[in-house]
Amino acid sequence: MRLLVPATTTNFGAGFDTFGLALNLYNTFEFEESDAFGVDIEGEGKELPRDENNLVVKVYKRACEVFGISPRPFKLKQMNRIPTARGLGSSATAIVGGIEACVKLHSLEVDLKDKLGVAFEFEPHPDNLLPAFVGGFVVCVQNGGLTFNKLTFPPELSLVFLVPDFELSTEEARRVIKREVPLKDAVFNIQRASLFVSALLTGKYELLKTAVEDRLHQPYRAKLVKGFNRVLEAGYSAGSYAVFLSGAGPTVCAITSEDLKEKVGASMKEAFEEEGVSARTFHLKAEERGSFWE
């Protein structure tokens, strides 16, 4: 049995811990019953654990415990296409993979709320997890529980990701953020997050540059990404609608028209290289599907 789980990008500047989007780049997990747990990894993340310390296995075993069943050992072939620790949701794919494996391998009926209950034990941010489960563009609200709405991301928009050759842990990226902010900064972000959704819904993409401006997280995290401001300027000079950190970084994302994606990617890559940073370019689209078996 083979499960595909999409990459995600989050925040979109002003939508900190609120906006998330599934992407058409996948980690694939193949499960085969066995006498003992074992993991084979291809692609990204060759350094990841290949025994019961692997995140997929750990989540699977915890899901079995929560759902009241006994775990069955399996061999896992993990084909990673999503760079690790780069702000593209690689850990979320492993969490979703472990939960969905539990449900599938044991023929369970489990609703999304209960799946998320397990997922949040490993990753407390729904903007990262929800798109991997359900696909599309999600707006998340934590209010003691979780409320979210899924929207269709405009298919004519392309997303260009520049993935630098260094990792940035979520913990480090969280540490640099201020815990209290001035009222004017909160208002600044509310205005722009609202503008972002309205621009997507009305097709007024020229508003996205203003809509991804942020005062809550990106100014602090940008200091951890060598060359970020130069890359941002290069993206806009090449015609991007919007440029921002993907998730906690260090990956930088640009939203652009299909006809400009190559130019935007080349310009941003060159800007990174001028700062002495090598980076890979990914040209992606929104994925309306979440995780799925094939």
Whether 271 has a pLDDT exceeding 80, the answer reads yes
User: Which pTM does this prediction carry?
Assistant: 0.95
Please state the length of the chain. 294
Whether 283 has a pLDDT exceeding 90, the answer reads yes
User: Is residue 290 a contact partner of residue 134, using CB atoms and an 8 Å limit?
Assistant: yes
Whether 144 has a pLDDT exceeding 90, the answer reads no
- Sorting pLDDT into bands at 50, 70 and 90, what band is 150? very high
CATH code 3.30.70.890 region(s) in the chain: 157-284
- Report the chain's mean pLDDT, rounded to a whole number: 96
User: Is residue 56 a contact partner of residue 78, using CB atoms and an 8 Å limit?
Assistant: yes
CATH code 3.30.230.10 region(s) in the chain: 2-151
Mean pLDDT of 268-277: 97
**Architecture of domain 157-284 in this structure:** 2-Layer Sandwich (3.30)
> CATH: 3.30.230.10, 3.30.70.1560, 3.40.50.300, 1.10.1040.50. Which one for 2-151?
3.30.230.10
Which of 15, 9, 22, 288 minimizes the C-alpha distance to 132? Answer: 22
> Which residue type does 188 have?
F
3-state secondary structure of 86: coil
Could you write out the three-class secondary structure of 11-51?
Answer: CCCCCCCCEEEEEEEEEEEEEEECCCCEEEEEECCCCCCCC
Mean pLDDT of 177-190: 96
- Sorting pLDDT into bands at 50, 70 and 90, what band is 174? confident
pLDDT for position 256: 98
- Burial, 223: exposed, middle or buried (Cβ in 10 Å; 0-12, 13-18, 19+)? exposed
Whether 169 has a pLDDT exceeding 80, the answer reads no
Whether 54 has a pLDDT exceeding 90, the answer reads yes
